[in-house]
Amino acid sequence: MERIGAHSHIRGLGLDDRLEPRENSQGMVGQGKARKAAGLILKMIQDGRIAGKAILFAGPPSTGKTAIAMGMARQLGADVPFTMIAGSEVFSRSMSKTEALTQAFRRSIGVRIKEETEIIEGEVVEIQIDRSLTGATKTGKLTIKTTDMETIYDLGTKMIDALSKEKVIAGDVVTIDKASGRILKLGRSFARSRDYDAMGADTKFVQCPEGELQKRKELVHTVSLHEIDVINSRTQGFLALFAGDTGEIKPELRNQINTKVGEWREEGKAEIIPGVLFIDEVHMLDIECFAFLNRALENELSPLVIMASNRGKSQIRGTKFASPHGLPVDLLDRVLIVSTRPYTEDDIKQIIQIRCQEEDVTLTENALQVLTSMSSQTTLRYALNLISCGQIIATKRKAEQVDVEDLRRAYSYFMDEKRSVQWLKEQQGNLMFEEVDDVTTTLNHMDED
C-alpha cells in the first residue's frame, strides 16, 4: 500500500504537445495560465537555457502553487535533479543558513558522466576448469557464443571465482565487463528451456544474442555536485550521503571540484545538467538568505530556482521593511512572476473527485455538491481534508458511500480558519498569552493575503 500525500494525485502538468493545458489531465485541473507558464519553463530546462533564472509562484493559499511545482518535478523525470526545500528549513539545520542554501543549490545540479566500456555478451556453451595439484591455482576455458560466432576464452583465477560466485552454468546468457571483470547474468537461453523440467518459476528466458561477441557499451551515471562534494570531503566520506547529515563542506573543496568538473566537461567526459531548486514558502527566508540568492543566481553553475509565496505585501524577515510577497525588490526584479488564482466551483468539484479516487472514497452526488460549496465558503484544502474524515464517520455507520450527513458531522467536529477566528473572538482573551487585539489583527491580516 502506498501512503497518500497531499499531492500524490499529481502526475504531471497535464499539457499537450503544444504546451496547452488540458482541462483535466494527469491529476491537474484548471489554473491554465500558471500551468502553461510552468510548461514553458520546463521547455527551457530541457533545452538547457536556464542559467540564472528564477520564477516565483505567487497567489492565495491552496491555489495549487506547490501542486504545480510537484507536477513539474514529475514531468522532468529522474535524470534531471529536482530539489525541494521549504524556506524555514534553512534555519533548523546544524549549519549556517548560507551553507544550507549552498548545499540545496549544488544538490540541484547534475553531472552526467559518460563511460565507455567493452563487454562480452553471449550464451555460455561450456565452462571447463582445471585445478593444479595443490589446488592453489586454477585455470580454465570459457566457451561462449552468439547466433553468429563462438569463441573460447582463457580464464584466470579471478574470473573463475566470479563465475562460480554468480553460479553461471552452460546455457546462461551473460555479459562480462572486460575492464572490471564484472559478470551479469541476463537469464537462460530459450534454446535450453526444454532441457530442464525442474527450474524455479522465477527463471527468466532470453534470446541468444546476435552478432559480435565483443561490444562497446556506453554507461551513463548522473550524480549531483553535492554528492561529489560529500564523497570527496575527507571528514565525511560517502557514508554521510546515507545518513543525510553532511555537515559543512569547505569552500576550497568546492572550488577544486568545480575545476575538476570543468576539466571533465572540456574533455567531453561529463556534461552539466542544471536542475531545479524549489523553495516553498520563500517568504520565510531572511534578508541574508535573499542576498545570497541574488549572488548565487548569477553564478555560472546555477540551477533554475522556483519559489512560492502566499504573502501579499509583508515584512521582509530580518528587516523592518515591507515588500510585495515578502521578497526584497532587487530579488523580485530578477524573477519571472507567475500568479495563481482561486479556483472556480467547477474546478473545485473536479479536484474533489480526483482526490476521492486517490483516497478510494465514494461520495454520493449530494455530498459532492455540498463539499464543493463548502470549499468555496472555506478553502479547498479544508474541503479536501474533510474527505477522509467523512469516510471514517461513514464507515462507523457501516455505509459504503459518504453522504451529506457524514460531511456535516465532520464539519461540526473540525473548524476551518474563519470559524476558528470567530471562535477566538468569542472567547474574548480566555486563552493563554493572548492580546485580544493582536490576534484579531494578525488573523485579519492573513485573510487579506
Position among 356, 363, 380, 394 found at the interface with ligand ATP (CB under 6 A) = 380
Q: Which is nearer to Mg ion, 68 or 387 (CB)?
A: 68
Count of residues touching Mg ion (by CB under 5 A): 1
Does residue 372 touch ligand ATP according to CB under 6 A?
no
If binding is defined by CB under 6 A, does position 62 make contact with ligand ATP? yes
d(CA 105, CA 81): 10
Work out whether 379 is an interface residue with Mg ion (CB under 5 A).
no
- Site for ligand ATP contains 65 (CB under 6 A): yes
Q: Which does 6 bind (CB under 5 to 8 A by kind): ligand ATP, Mg ion, none?
A: ligand ATP
Residue with cell 488540458: 22
Separation between Cα atoms, residue 275 and residue 273, nearest integer Å:
6
Q: Which one of 4-12, 323-331, 390-398, 430-438 is the stretch in contact with ligand ATP (CB under 6 A)?
A: 4-12
C-beta closer to Mg ion: residue 6 or 183: 6
Helix (H) or strand (E) holding 48: none
Choose which of 15, 29, 38, 111 interacts with ligand ATP (CB under 6 A): 29
When asked if residue 349 is in the footprint of ligand ATP (CB under 6 A), the reply is no
* 390, interface contact from Mg ion, ligand ATP, none, CB < 5-8 Å by kind: none
The 8-class DSSP code of residue 96 comes to -
Q: How far apart are CA 301 and CA 352, in angstroms?
A: 41
User: How many CB atoms are located within 10 Å of the residue 197 CB?
Assistant: 5
6 touching ligand ATP, by CB under 6 A: yes
Compute the least distance from the CB of residue 13 to ligand ATP, in Å: 10
Residue 398's CB: how many other CB atoms inside 10 A? 6
Residue number closest to Mg ion, CB atom = 66
Tell me how many residues contact ligand ATP (CB under 6 A): 20
- Looking only at the bridges linking them, the beta strands covering 205-206 and 183-189 are parallel
Stretch that binds ligand ATP, among 41-49, 55-63, 283-291, 403-411 (CB under 6 A): 55-63
Least distance to ligand ATP, CB of residue 66, Å: 3
Residues 6+ apart with CB under 8 A from 320: none
- CA distance linking residue 323 with residue 312, whole number of Å: 8
Return the number of the residue (6 or 169) whose C-beta is nearest ligand ATP: 6
- Distance in angstroms (rounded) separating the CA atoms of residues 39 and 157: 56
- 308 forms beta bridges with 57
**Cell 510537484 belongs to residue:** 70
- Three-state secondary structure call for residue 319: coil
Quick one: what does residue 58 bind among Mg ion, ligand ATP, none, with the CB cut-off 5 to 8 Å set by partner type?
A: none
Instruction: Give the residues across from 109 on adjacent strands.
Output: 274
Check residue 91 and report its DSSP letter: G
Rg (CA), the chain: 30
Among 66, 189, 224, 233, binds Mg ion (CB under 5 A): 66
Give min distance, CB of 400 to ligand ATP, in A: 25
- Cell representation of residue 153: 576464452
Stretch near ligand ATP under the rule CB under 6 A, chosen from 60-68, 79-87, 183-191, 423-431: 60-68
Its sign, for the CA torsion 160, 166, 168, 173, is negative
DSSP SS3 for 252: helix
Q: Which of 13, 39, 66, 171 binds ligand ATP (CB under 6 A)?
A: 66
Name which position in 27, 122, 275, 326 contacts ligand ATP (CB under 6 A): 27
Smallest gap from residue 6 Cβ to ligand ATP (A): 4
Could you give the maximum distance between any two Cα atoms of the chain, in Å? 96
Q: Which residues bind ligand ATP (CB under 6 A)?
A: 6-7, 10, 27-31, 61-67, 310, 351, 380-381, 384
Q: Which residues bind Mg ion (CB under 5 A)?
A: 66
